[in-house]
Structure 1
Amino acid sequence: MTNENDPIAKPSLTTKKLYPENQESPIHFLFNKQTPASLFYKRNHFSYPPFNYANFWLSVNDSVKKPIAFSIEELLALPSKTVEVVMECAGNKRSLFRPKVFGEQWEKGAMSVGRFKGVPLKTLLEKANIDSDSQEVVIEGYDDGYRSDLDNVYAYMRSLPLKKALHPDTLIAYSYNDQPLPFKHGYPIRLVVPGWYAMASVKWVKQITVISASFAGPFQTIDYMYYPNQDNDEDAFPVTTINVNSTIQYPLDRDIVDTGKHTIRGVAWTGDGVIKKVEISVDGGESWMPASVDNGQEFSLSQWSLTYPFTAKKEYTIMSRATDSNKRTQPETPFWNRKGYGYNAVDQVTIKVE
């Protein structure tokens, strides 16, 4: 088990790209419920945004009866809430799709978990007194950049349906694990949308716009859509709720271990409900055994383990399969889609016992 106080051996982020900076969390070496800020994965579409913190104001406008703007000090003075949340990139595990797809080739570490503190978005919307015909809430970030597919510059913007925007756990967050939100993760404020893939949790929030229509920005209607067909856009639908999933943390894939008892351990999570069971196979899915699972809470991780006596000297294919409280179970094969979102097939590693 990783000892974060060990001055010699410490995990680190794995760089996937330098521009924009995209780095994976060392998921196989993190055995606490809160990912340290220094090991939180990074997913960026553009370079980090420059802006003047001293003159920062957050406005709530458009389809509201009382347009309003908040300073950081005013946000900090409002009633707050803390929620432990899994942040998972929609492209997590993309490298595992077969046939392979284009995009950042994330392995299993484009996810992290921790405690976010902030003001419920609902509080700000209520103060602005939104119109009765409001449908969506658009959140715009300060980060922007050129998109070659559209030959134009776009800010990163996403919308939430009103029901999700008004959920009491949807936050405008300013703190992570009891410390100020790090700059590279959205300082001074970011949106946190528990249960949804992290593309919804806009960083460096610039303004909030309430609209009485459907938002059609490129990060809403081009990206972060499931495209089931390789050659056309038919039957496409939006990426929203996190799929039930699990990852084996130990042993590592292609490990060589001695005969005897070894504890298989890992994590499981879901965007809707809580994890109810995790099953483990050591024979490539021929048979399954129940793992011991902690009592995870909604939107966070569950940790699980199973001790097994590896007596035969041979190769073993170990698999993990999670089921949540809505009876969603990891499938044997993932739902293939052209942009490689939402991978959640049964996890597996292969080890050799000598």
Structure 2
Amino acid sequence: MFDRYSPFVRPYLSTRSLEPENQETPIQFIRNEIVNTRLFFRRNHFSYPTLTFSNFWIPVKGSVATPLMLLMQDLYNFKSKTIKVVLECSGNKRSLFEPKVFGEQWEKGAISQGIWRGVPLSTLLKLAGISENAKEVVVEGYDYGKRTDLKGVYSYTRSLPIEKALHPDTIIAYEYNHKPISFKHGYPFRLIVPQWYGMASVKWIKQITVIDNSFEGPFQSIDYVYYPNKDDNKGAYPVTKINVDSTIQKPLHMEVLDTGKHLIQGIAWTGGGYIKEIEISTDNGKTWTNVLVENEEKTPYEWTSWSYEWSVQNKGEYTIIVRVTDSHNRTQPKIPFWNRKGYGYNATDKIKVKVE
């Protein structure tokens, strides 16, 4: 799974905060398409919930013909779906914004990928019989706590438009990499919403409610909203699809190399379509070279691994840049879209190295 490391030296998560626990995947050391549970990034707004017997039931209610109360075994009995999905926190790379923004200062590791198994949310909604006026599906988690900007206690709750909720690949997952989801990643039930940032994939599902209006909870209407202006909310709009993006995993930023051949490696991903083009520059953007893209065996929701053999004979300092384009012709910008809460950073990835 890893190269250049003995069995006794293994990477671990990088800690951003302890309470609540927020930790990054050591993405620069991942050499596999699947991230194991131990290295999957952790994003929390509150302390971990306490599991009780009630956690193993999921109510489906609201604007439905037949409210449901489903036990874990009931979900196991439904036809399941297995999908490989990249999950990325919308705050990934927040620390790279200029000017700086407040919030968890994620570097490049608030992203992971693996295989999820569960029941399509649409299966439950159709069984309950959603009303013709249904507009959104609200998913509430068991995690809760106080917010610094509001009075009172709030649970982590998000909604999906009915179309996204009914998408066959939006699932209620109970397995990750062919094992039960770990407690810290949402056991026993976690929503998985492919191609949307991770805030949509609610953990520790408490209940599902179909509504015929727009949900206005704070994690929907205050957080996870793009605010283009520092001092007002003009032009604000919700965070949804993952932006086209890439990360250089090898070599490391500010690494010292010798002359000769070096393998530059990384990943690229997008929230719509597939990665169509990957370009690399080893001279700070003066010239660009296309990197071979192999997507034949890729599923729609996973990242694309890439590599480029760089031959360097001259000593000195070099800036390496990667930019990618997806099949919807979305290309990484040179400068990211700055927004007050620091979401969706996806500028061309850049590192510096020194050759001696």
TM-score range, shorter chain: over 0.9
Identity of aligned residues (%): 58
1:26 aligns with 2:26: yes
Q: What residue identity is the alignment partner of 1:334?
A: P
C-alpha distance in 2, partners of 1:303/1:342?
20
1:303 counterpart residue number: 305
1:286 aligns with 2:286: yes
1:97 counterpart residue number: 97
**Residue 148 (structure 1) shift:** 2.3
Q: 1:153–1:305: structure 2 CA closer, same or farther, 3 Å change rule?
A: same
C-alpha distance in 1, partners of 2:320/2:197?
27
Match of 2:316 among 309, 314, 317: 314
1:353 counterpart residue number: 355
Q: Gaps spanning 5+ residues in structure 2: where?
A: none
C-alpha distance in 2, partners of 1:55/1:268?
36
Q: What residue identity is the alignment partner of 1:177?
A: N
C-alpha distance in 2, partners of 1:4/1:254?
18
1:342 counterpart residue number: 344
Report 1:219-234 matches (<5 A).
219-234=219-234
Q: 1:55–1:308: structure 2 CA closer, same or farther, 3 Å change rule?
A: closer
1:268 aligns with 2:268: yes
Q: What residue identity is the alignment partner of 1:347?
A: D
> How big is each residue's C-alpha offset from its partner over 1:306-332, in whole Å with a ceiling of 9 and x where there is no partner?
101111101010001011111100000
**Residue 51 (structure 1) shift:** 2.7
Question: SS in structure 1 opposite 2:172?
Answer: strand
Aligned Cα root-mean-square deviation (Å): 1.2
Report 1:166-185 matches (<5 A).
166-185=166-185
Deviates more, 1:288-297 or 1:331-340: 288-297
Report runs of 4+ in structure 1 exceeding 3 Å deviation: 3-6
**Residue 69 (structure 1) shift:** 1.1
Question: Does the 8 Å contact 1:3/1:10 carry over to 2?
Answer: no
Q: What residue identity is the alignment partner of 1:197?
A: Y
1:197 aligns with 2:197: yes
Question: Does the 8 Å contact 1:120/1:172 carry over to 2?
Answer: yes
Report 1:1-354 matches (<5 A).
2-3=2-3, 6-53=6-53, 56-295=56-295, 296-354=298-356
C-alpha distance in 2, partners of 1:185/1:10?
21
TM-score, length-normalised on structure 2?
A: 0.98
C-alpha distance in 1, partners of 2:221/2:55?
32
Q: What residue identity is the alignment partner of 2:323?
A: R
**Residue 4 (structure 1) shift:** 10
Question: Does the 8 Å contact 2:55/2:206 carry over to 1?
Answer: no
C-alpha distance in 1, partners of 2:9/2:53?
36
Q: How many residues align?
A: 354
C-alpha distance in 2, partners of 1:308/1:5?
22
**Residue 54 (structure 1) shift:** 6.5
Question: SS in structure 2 opposite 1:125?
Answer: helix
Q: 1:33–1:53: structure 2 CA closer, same or farther, 3 Å change rule?
A: farther
